Amino acid sequence: MRPPEFWHHKDGRDSAPMIRLLLSPIAWIYGWAAARRIRKTDSYDAGVPVICVGNATMGGTGKTPVSIYLLTSLRRMGVNVVGLTRGYGGREKGPIPVQKHHTAEDVGDEPLLLARNAPVWVSAGRDEGAKAAVSYGATAIVMDDGHQNPLLEKTLSLLVVDAETGFGNGCVFPAGPLREKLSESLARADAIILMKPSPDFDIDDDLAKQLKGKTVIPAYLAPTGAAPKGKLYAFAGIGRPNKFFDSLKRHGGDVVGEIPYKDHYKYKDGDIEELFMLASEMEAGLITTEKDYVRLPRGYRKGVQVWPVKVQFEDELTLRGLLHPVIEQTKKVQDKILNTGKNG
């Protein structure tokens, strides 16, 4: 879904106070149910460190690039880490490992991106997914999304927050973008990854106050290469398509047209044919995100450019400090497996 505009305004006419008032009873029930589920569920201990990369709001905040960073970094250190995700938008419920033949319709777009960097398991039940991954030798798990999912015990919880939109109007869904009460979401977070649109972005004072007392690590998404030359017709079906369009322009892209789609949009042949026609009229080339590219019908991918991004941390030392005890715990798990194998 595309978030309604009033989610982003705390007061004034744009905040739609009457609509928010009408939705507040539903929001209270939604928040109460989320809190009760988290409080009443006995979390499963997978026996290996679990790093959760989640968010407090509906929509995209940049979780997947953070998960990719963690997976690649830990694997470079020799950790047998795997990704774990529910596979939003895919038909498979799992637990199953992501294979080369899988498509976005099978497992969703995010697992396909994660699987380029490490083994990934898709499972609607995170506890079942963790059991399966560990049985196949995983000694650490990076869970993409799941801050509000209590099925799996977490070793380290990183909450990714969009620095531009913050927590919106501060209300719980559907009156606002929050998945639960903000105080409860922040209380379970070990650190905040504050995702900025650019390195020089100034953080809003209200957001800074909301995050006071938490470990905050500023970050931003940087392109892995320069923007393609020539006229570009951009399209994206992510949480906030404008972030992609604005970033492309900011890095010198000559964007002559742009079309936003809803998050995780499943492109049909007709959609791409129309995009090619529109781009042709502007004498431009089509360009999109990595997430969107894996959702395109295979026969149309050749004519679409991709502009990949990766996360850059402004305080990587603090993040490494958070990861250090996790890595030490992983070494103990790996040593235990090694010793068990020798004794067996």
Question: DSSP for 263-295?
Answer: TT----HHHHHHHHHHHHHTT-EEEE-HHHHTT
Residue type, 185: S
Q: What is the DSSP letter of 44?
A: B
Q: What is the pLDDT of residue 1?
A: 58
- Report the DSSP beta bridge partners of residue 255: 232
| Per-residue pLDDT, 15 | 86
For domain 50-222+312-343, give the CATH number.
3.40.50
C-alpha span between 326 and 156 (Å, rounded):
8
Q: What is the DSSP letter of 243?
A: H
Q: What is the pLDDT of residue 298?
A: 87
The pLDDT of residue 343 is 59
Residue 335 has pLDDT above 80, yes or no: no
Q: Give the sheet arrangement for strand 50-54, strand by strand.
A: 96-97, 120-122, 81-85, 140-144, 50-54, 156-162, 191-196, 216-223, 309-313
DSSP code of 84?
Answer: E
Across-strand partners of 311?
A: 221
Residue whose pair of structure tokens reads 């977490």 in the numeric block = 154
Q: What percent of the chain has pLDDT over 70?
A: 98
The Cα–Cα gap between 105 and 85 comes to 15
CA distance linking residue 290 with residue 62, whole number of Å: 13
Does residue 344 carry a pLDDT above 60? no
Backbone phi and psi for residue 56, each to the nearest 5 degrees, phi listed first: -95, -15
Tokens read off for 247: 């970033």
Whole-structure pTM value: 0.92
DSSP codes, 64-75: HHHHHHHHHHHH
Q: Three-state DSSP class for 196?
A: strand
pLDDT digits (tens, 9 = 90+) for 265-320: 999 999 999 999 999 999 999 999 999 999 999 888 999 999 999 999 999 999 99
Statement: residue 33 has pLDDT above 80 = yes
Q: Indicate the pLDDT class of residue 334, thresholds 50, 70 and 90.
A: confident
Query: What is the pLDDT, as a whole number, of residue 188?
Result: 97
Per-residue pLDDT tens digits for 139-196: 999 999 999 999 999 999 999 999 999 999 999 999 999 999 999 999 999 999 999 9
Residue labelled with tokens 């957001």? 207
pLDDT for residue 4: 87
Indicate the range of 7-11, 65-69, 234-238 predicted with least confidence: 7-11
pLDDT band at 24 (very low <50, low <70, confident <90, very high): very high
The DSSP 8-state label assigned to residue 172 in this structure reads B
First to last CA, the chain: 53
Q: Mind giving me the DSSP string for 198-234? A: STTPPPPHHHHHHTTTS-EEEEEEEESSPPPSSEEEE
Query: Phi and psi of 54, rounded to 5°?
Result: -130, -170
Note the pLDDT of residue 225: 86
Phi and psi, residue 113, nearest 5°: -70, -45
Average pLDDT rounded to a whole number, residues 9-23:
89
Is the Cα dihedral 201, 205, 211, 216 positive or negative? positive
**Whether the Cβ atoms of residue 64 and residue 160 lie closer than 8 Å to each other:** no
Cross-strand partners of 236: 260
pLDDT reported for residue 341: 59
| pLDDT at site 337 | 73
Longest dimension (CA), the chain: 70
Number of H helices, E strands in the chain: 11, 13
132: left (phi over 0), alpha (psi -120 to 50) or beta: alpha
Query: 287, 236 in Cβ contact below 8 A?
Result: no
